[in-house]
Copies of this chain bind each other. A is one copy, B any other.
Amino acid sequence: MFSIPKIISQIACSFYMLFFSIAIFAQKPVDLVNPFIGTSNFGAAFPGPIAPRGMASISPFNVAGVKNTPMEKDSQWLSNPYVNENTFLTGFSQVNLSGVGCPDLGVILLMPTTGEVETDHLKYGSTYSNEVAKAAYYSVNLDKYKIKGEFTASKRVGVSRFTFPKGKSNILLNLGLGLTNEEGAMIKVVSSTEIEGMRTVGSFCYNSPEDAYPVYFVAKFSKPAHNFGVWKKPAKYNGVEAQWMGYNGKTRIMENTIKTVVGDSIGSYFTYKFDKEETVEVKIGISYVSIDNARENLERETGNKSFDAVYEETYNEWNEELSKVLVEGGSKDDQTIFYTALYHTLIHPNTLNDINGEYPKIKRSKIGKTEGTRYTVFSLWDTYRNMHPLTSLIYPKQQSDMIKSMLEMYDENGWLPKWELNSTETFTMVGDPASIVIVDACLKGIQDFDFYKAYYAMLKGADQIEDNPLRPGLKEYIEKGYLSTNYAGPVSTTLEYNTSDYAISLLAKALGKKEDYKRFTKRSLSYQKLYDKDLKLLRPRTANGKWYEPFDPEAGANFQANVGFIEGNAWQYAFMVPHDMKGLIKLMGGDKAFSDQLQKVFDLKQFDMANEPDIAYPYLFNYVKGEEWKSQELVKKLVKEYFQNKPKGLPGNDDTGTMSAWLVYSMMGIYPISPGDPIYTITTPMFHRVTIKLDPAYYKKESIVIERQENNEGKINSIEINGKPLNSFFISHEDFVNGTKLKVIQN
């Protein structure tokens, strides 16, 4: 036999050391996710399991309790199924939204109990302890019952594992209780191991109630129930009829029945009698098309797989997605908030189609079928700003499929989406943001969709005066350049239309549509008519063209309603012309005036980290030569102040990943400063090295590295791309992704 040559032995040794050092010092990205981040301070994230862009998810549900207690869903506006501080748990909801500002979903509540069946959640609810939350896994102990619950999920199936003590135990499936005021459900126990049914959800933000829609499910239990049944609490009658009904308004327990039961307050129970500690696994397949599809989703995704096998698969899937960006340096908390933020950007938009490709078309007029992925939950007013640009960079295939989904929506109802949720258009917020998302991706090289069709879809939204659901007030906007106070939030809406029009102009230019290019470029600058030179702010005008009076620039902070602005005030919208910062600087009287006014936003504490209109402002000092350090300091300060490895570690609603995407970009040291424009502005990365793996289907290079000195906190002195000076705090997407290394050199 040959002895191993020394050189090989040394290489082997180095490999061993490398492996060892990774094993010791670097955790897998998936292990750095802390799903508790954003579960307090109205972050509206949930700590339970979900697969990347999954349809199903499981959240502990602890927002239903005694009325008029803090953070109780019916006593105050609450958009999430879980609040970290709450203590009273009433189940585990099987479909959930993450980081939204309005309640929806948060239904199909599974709850294990012991003893006699109790169907009133105020009676069967329990305190809880020993919460553990990881990517694809959550576990908790229910104090009252000494039951351990563990939860994981595949894309369309939530999997629960309950460890019951010896004795009589129950698993309740409550279709009455839910996060919102929407009601109506159907349930049928198919056998002692299976339940099927549906629950009505919708009316997001209490809009479009007629679009309330069904979520279908099939639940399979690993062990047959000893007994099962259904309950229903009907409405209470009054008057003479009530006298005939001894049972008026009382809960009905229907034992061992396989009949279909419908109602607002219904559920089913499975009862077990255990001689010793036992576990039961419950798989709940979800579909927005039909019960049959929910069953097929369940069978094909999880079939005979154990809880542990499902968990392992989803865990690996998360790790693969999160490993598209590798960070080196920074504290463990830095890495945790980074990967948790990236995790949050991978929840919505999420999968709508069943595993067989079927999905409900917009407004459920028909069932569609996709070969790829039909995405849903497009909170575009939020996400056009950074979340979609981030997806284009790191997950371009997903971004492409999202655009295809948006174009399918256009095919289905004649309009691009605005705030699409499970094939309903909620028409929440203002503007016409889909155009920006599509142009941004297209100009970044994601072009495997019909961008001509997309272009004409944008034009329709931008030009059709009558019956245009996307752009109310369009006639006035085109005629005057702005919306008057006849419309809600006229300044905000004008700025949104400007931004969209700018994006359209960019695509028009790229497609050689010169007239459109000119027209939309001009339209994109009409905000200038709202510029009040005296205040150096944008200000609403009345229909006759006069400034709206009285005008308080500070009115409208903290989401207060005000004339002129949506979710913000004049300060928060003063710089929301990302595409024309140079024009704005000119309007304001040059760099100094601009810089001073921008600084005022922060000095006057008008900057709101928790909402989108001003979210890019910390980067705007990059437009003033010599003041870029202010952006660097501001971004660092804001990250430190608002983003932390704890439940309160998001500044507010995550807005389906928008806050998180801001953090991901900010920690990487780049920011998509003008959505639609394929350009980034640069700040100090918060890691020594960030490696972004690029998808070879869309990008030429395998990866791009962003680097800065280890342990250096100073201002940026210079920036290099591929070893050569950049001489700018801006870099085009093309230069960036075709580079090898972007290096930030600090003082």
A contacts, CB < 8 Å to B = 67, 74-77, 181, 183-186, 198, 200, 203, 206, 209-214, 216, 232, 234-235, 237, 239-241, 244-247, 250, 252-264, 360, 363-367
Residues from chain B with a CB closer than 8 A to the CB of A181 are 237, 241, 244-245
Query: Contact check: which of B213, B259, B367 meets A214 at CB < 8 Å?
Result: B259
The answer to whether residues A184 and B263 also contact, given A256-B365, A363-B256 and a CB cut-off of 8 A, is yes
CA of A240 to CA of B77 in the docked complex: distance in angstroms?
A: 9
Contact A200 B261 (CB under 8 A): yes
20 further interface pairs, Cβ-Cβ under 8 Å (given A206-B245, A206-B247): A67-B239, A76-B240, A77-B244, A181-B244, A184-B234, A186-B260, A198-B262, A209-B245, A211-B254, A212-B232, A214-B260, A216-B260, A235-B235, A255-B363, A257-B363, A257-B365, A258-B366, A258-B367, A259-B364, A262-B262
Q: Whole-angstrom distance from the CB of A293 to the nearest CB of chain B? A: 12
What residue of chain B has the Cβ atom nearest to residue A259's Cβ? B364
Distance, CA A20 to CA B237, complexed state (A)? 61
Q: How far is the CA of A252 from the CA of B212 in the complex (A)?
A: 10
30 contacts between A and B (CB under 8 A): A74-B239, A74-B240, A75-B240, A181-B241, A183-B234, A183-B235, A183-B263, A184-B234, A184-B262, A184-B263, A185-B262, A186-B262, A198-B260, A200-B262, A200-B263, A203-B247, A206-B245, A206-B247, A209-B245, A209-B252, A210-B253, A213-B259, A214-B262, A235-B235, A256-B365, A257-B363, A257-B364, A258-B367, A262-B263, A264-B264
A239: chain B residues within 8 A (beta carbon): 67, 74
Q: Which residues of B contact A200 (CB under 8 A)?
A: 261-263
Residue of A250, A254, A262, A264 with most chain B CB atoms under a 10 A cut-off: A262
A214 — nearest CB in chain B belongs to which residue? Answer: B260
Asked whether, in the complex, the Cβ of B211 is within 8 Å of the Cβ of A244, the reply is no
Q: How far is the CA of A240 from the CA of B74 in the complex (A)?
A: 7
Across the A-B interface, the 7 shortest Cβ-Cβ residue pairs: A259-B364, A209-B247, A210-B252, A184-B262, A214-B260, A262-B262, A257-B364
Q: Which residues of B contact A365 (CB under 8 A)?
A: 256-258
Task: Note all chain B residues with C-beta closer than 8 A to A185.
Answer: 262
Contact B366 A254 (CB under 8 A): no
Smallest Cβ distance from A244 to chain B, in angstroms? Answer: 5
Write the chain B residue with the least CB distance to A252.
Answer: B210
Query: Shortest CB–CB separation between residue A703 and chain B, in angstroms?
Result: 45
- Nearest B-chain residue to A256, judged by Cβ: B365
Copies of this subunit: 2
CA distance A200 to B257 in the complex (A): 14
CB distance from A76 to the nearest CB of B (A): 7
Residues of B contacting A77 with CB < 8 Å?
244
Chain B: minimal CB distance from A397 (Å): 30
Instruction: Kindly report which residue of chain B lies nearest to residue A68, judged by CB atoms.
Output: B240
- Residues of chain B within 8 A (CB-CB) of A198 are 260, 262
CA distance in complex: A192, B652 (Å): 46
- Known: A181-B244, A183-B234, A183-B235. Is A210-B254 also a contact (CB below 8 A)? yes
Q: Which of A184, A246, A253 has the most CB of B within 10 A?
A: A184
Assembled-state Cα–Cα distance A220/B508 (Å): 50
Once the chains are docked, how many angstroms separate the CA of A92 from the CA of B512? 63
| Complex interface: chain B residues within 8 A of A264 (CB) | 235, 263-264
Q: CA A508 – CA B256 in complex, angstroms?
A: 36
Q: Do residues A364 and B258 form an inter-chain contact, with CB atoms below 8 A? A: yes
Q: What chain B residues lie within 8 Å of A67 (beta carbons)? A: 239
Closest chain B residue to A234, Cβ basis: B183
Q: How far is the CB of A422 from chain B (nearest CB, A)?
A: 11
Q: A216 to chain B: which residues have CB within 8 Å?
A: 260
A199 (CB) vs chain B CBs: closest residue = B262
How far, in whole Å, are A241 and B180 apart by their CA atoms in the complex?
9
Distance in angstroms from A205 CB to nearest chain B CB is 9
Contact between chains at B360 and A259 (CB < 8 Å): yes
Expressed in whole angstroms, the Cα–Cα distance for A422 and B214 within the complex equals 29
**Distance in Å: Cβ of A654 to nearest Cβ of chain B:** 22
A186, B200: Cα distance in complex, Å: 11
Measured in the bound complex, the distance between the Cα atoms of B212 and A264 in whole Å is 15
With A210-B253, A252-B210, A256-B363 as contacts: A184 and B261 at CB distance below 8 Å:
yes
A247 vs B204: C-alpha distance when bound (angstroms): 13
Q: How far is the CB of A180 from chain B (nearest CB, A)?
A: 9
User: Chain B residues near A363 (CB, 8 Å)?
Assistant: 255-257
In this complex, which of A183, A198, A260 has the most chain B Cβ atoms within 10 angstroms of its Cβ?
A: A260
A532 to chain B, nearest CB (A): 34
Q: How far is the CB of A409 from chain B (nearest CB, A)?
A: 16
Closest chain B residue, CB of each to CB of A175: B262
Whole-angstrom distance from the CB of A160 to the nearest CB of chain B?
Answer: 25
Q: What are the residues of chain B within 8 A of A261 when measuring CB–CB?
A: 184, 200, 214
Q: Which residue of B lies closest to A185 (CB)?
A: B262
Bound complex: CA A212 to CA B250 (Å): 13
Q: Return A291 CB to nearest CB of chain B, in Å.
A: 9
